[in-house]
Amino acid sequence: MKTATVRELRTCFPRLEAWLQTGETVIITKRSRAVAELRVPVAPQKPDFKKRFARGGRVSGSHRVNTVAFLSEERGA
């Protein structure tokens, strides 16, 4: 874990960005006290609908879902 001051954040951001790209977490300090933590955000995992429907149309649990009824219900129709 690396540390940088607020001033370094403003003036030397490319260096801090390089640290972030290598996976480092950067603690931002102001007057020797930690005020923020920078890290690369974790991308949310998208659901794999192909796998869900390849298992026989099961969306969750063990019950079957009628796709047309499910979409109509989702759309409020």
Query: Which pLDDT score, from 0 to 100, does residue 38 have?
Result: 95
Q: Determine if the pTM surpasses 0.75.
A: no
> Domain 2-38: which CATH class?
alpha beta
At residue 76, does pLDDT exceed 90?
no
Contact 25, 11 (CB under 8 A): no
Reported as a single tens digit per residue, the pLDDT across 8-29 is 999 999 999 999 999 999 999 9
At residue 55, does pLDDT exceed 70?
no
H or E segment and range at residue 41: none
Query: Which pLDDT score, from 0 to 100, does residue 62 have?
Result: 52
Beta strand 2-5 with 33-38 is unpaired
Reported as a single tens digit per residue, the pLDDT across 28-54 is 999 999 999 999 998 888 877 777 777
Domain ranges of the chain: 2-38, 48-77
9: Cβ contacts below 8 Å, ≥ 6 apart: 16, 28
